[in-house]
Amino acid sequence: MNSKHKDALTARDVRFCDKLIKTDELILCIDCGSSFVKTLLLDADGILTQKYEFDQFPYDYINSMAEKNKCIILLTGARAGHLDLFRLPADVIQYSEIDCIASIPKSIRLEETVVVCIGTGTPFIVYKNGVGVHFGGTGIGGGTFLGLSYRLLKREDPKEVEQLARNGDLSKINLTIADVYQQDVSYLKSDLTAANFAKRTEASESDIALGIHSMISETIGMMAAQIARSNGIDNVLFCGAVCENALICDSLEKCMGLFNIKSIFIDNPGFGTCFGAFSYYFEQKKQPHIGGHQTSATATIRA
Ligand SMILES: Nc1ncnc2c1ncn2[C@@H]1O[C@H](COP(=O)(O)OP(=O)(O)OP(=O)(O)O)[C@@H](O)[C@H]1O
Ligand SMILES: [Mg+2]
């Protein structure tokens, strides 16, 4: 996260993980997502996060680790079934991704929220009264960001596209309320988007890069806000690797602000599902989380 996010955070930092439980076992969460495999390992020294391409998953390393230690593997993610883990000398427990994502709010002691996990695609989970319900989803997400960046800009590194977008001018790409109406429309301000990518004027690569950010974040943001409002919830929690993109987070926050909804961003958002899996595991075991080591998410609320 950029420094602005860090600064915004300090005062209203929401943390959990109080109780200390010593563990002799290794607990490894493997989130095998549509794009990347994420692992979060908890051992006596703390936690270690890693990210792999699917075909570079380190079976041998995990095998040798599991041979030396008692090891529990929490397995989740859309492509979990594609990993061949059940021959490893470890207890493998498979969880649904939705159960893991729905456990993130519990781990930061939120009573109710809409969890939006912006990975390759984007599911929305309504969490209320201790229960997470898969409300729906959209195919707009990080996969869209990557695909459009490739097709329109011939670039494949999201960080490079974010950098490019910092010099972009959105008025070259999007039609705004000001372009089509003479005054504000109900709660809509004049600089809000009336139609993404609707303009056909000259535009630079930076403008297009910013247009991609805007289309993805506004589509997801508006859906999230409306789901929150229709469920009487006043905050939305964002996770998934796309939330490593500060421009996207700023735009999501702006959308939430239109509806007076608080935005909550977790640290290390690409590992949100892993944090949720840990939370779910401890809940199933009826154990408090392991404290001392940060096994769970920390979050920032932006009102
Ligand atoms: N900084 C970034 N800005 C925009 N998109 C990004 C950024 N970093 C990663 N992405 C995109 O996020 C996606 C990967 O996110 P993540 O690892 O959370 O998804 P996943 O778990 O593999 O997928 P899913 O959960 O949908 O099955 C990829 O499409 C990648 O291109
Ligand atoms: Mg994922």
Phi/psi of residue 5, each to 5°?
-65, -45
Q: Which CATH architecture has domain 21-96+273-292?
A: 2-Layer Sandwich (3.30)
Model pLDDT for residues 246-262, shown as the tens digit of each residue: 999 999 999 999 999 99
Average pLDDT, the chain: 86
Q: What mean pLDDT comes out for the span 165-173?
A: 97
User: Are the CB atoms for 17 and 106 separated by under 8 Å?
Assistant: no
Give the pLDDT confidence score for residue 47 in this predicted structure: 75
Looking at the CA of 266, which ligand is closest?
Answer: 1
Nearest ligand 1 atom to alpha carbon 272: 18
User: Which residue from 288, 290, 293, 222 is spatially nearest to 257, judged by alpha carbons?
Assistant: 222
Does the domain at 104-270 match CATH 3.40.190.10? Answer given as: no
Please provide the size of the chain in residues.
303
Give the pLDDT confidence score for residue 187 in this predicted structure: 67
What is the whole-number distance in angstroms between the Cα of residue 34 and the centre of ligand 1?
8
What single letter denotes the amino acid at residue 262? K
What is the whole-number distance in angstroms between the Cα of residue 239 and the centre of ligand 1?
10
Ligand 1-lining residues (CB < 6 angstroms)? 33-36, 77-78, 119-121, 142-143, 145-146, 158-159, 162, 240-242, 244-245, 270
Percent of the chain exceeding pLDDT 90 equals 66
Instruction: Quote the DSSP letter at residue 102.
Output: H
Nearest ligand 1 atom to alpha carbon 118: 18
Residue nearest atom 12 of ligand 1, based on CA coordinates: 142
Give the pLDDT confidence score for residue 296 in this predicted structure: 57
Phi/psi of residue 189, each to 5°?
-80, 160
Model pLDDT for residues 84-108, shown as the tens digit of each residue: 887 889 999 999 999 999 999 988 8
Model pLDDT for residues 97-142, shown as the tens digit of each residue: 999 999 999 888 899 999 999 999 999 999 999 999 999 999 999 9
Distance between CA atoms of residues 100 and 77, nearest Å: 9
What is the whole-number distance in angstroms between the Cα of residue 114 and the centre of ligand 2?
16
Model pLDDT for residues 180-214, shown as the tens digit of each residue: 887 666 767 788 999 999 999 999 999 999 999 99
Q: Please report, for the chain, the start and end positions of each structural domain, with discontinuous segments joined by +.
A: 21-96+273-292, 104-270
For 77: left if phi > 0, alpha if psi spans -120 to 50, otherwise beta; the answer is left
Residue 79: is its pLDDT beyond 90?
yes
Distance between CA atoms of residues 28 and 184, nearest Å: 52
Tell me the pLDDT band of 24, cut-offs 50, 70 and 90: low
Pocket of ligand 1, candidates 30, 145, 215: which has the most ligand atoms within 8 Å of its Cβ, to mutate?
A: 145
- 21-96+273-292 and 104-270 have identical folds: yes
Say how far residue 155 (Cα) sits from the centre of its chain: 22
Residue 16: is its pLDDT beyond 70?
no
Percent of the chain exceeding pLDDT 70 equals 83
Residue nearest atom 7 of ligand 1, based on CA coordinates: 242
Residue 303: is its pLDDT beyond 70?
no
What is the whole-number distance in angstroms between the Cα of residue 77 and the centre of ligand 2?
6
What is the whole-number distance in angstroms between the Cα of residue 31 and the centre of ligand 2?
7
Residue 1: is its pLDDT beyond 80?
no
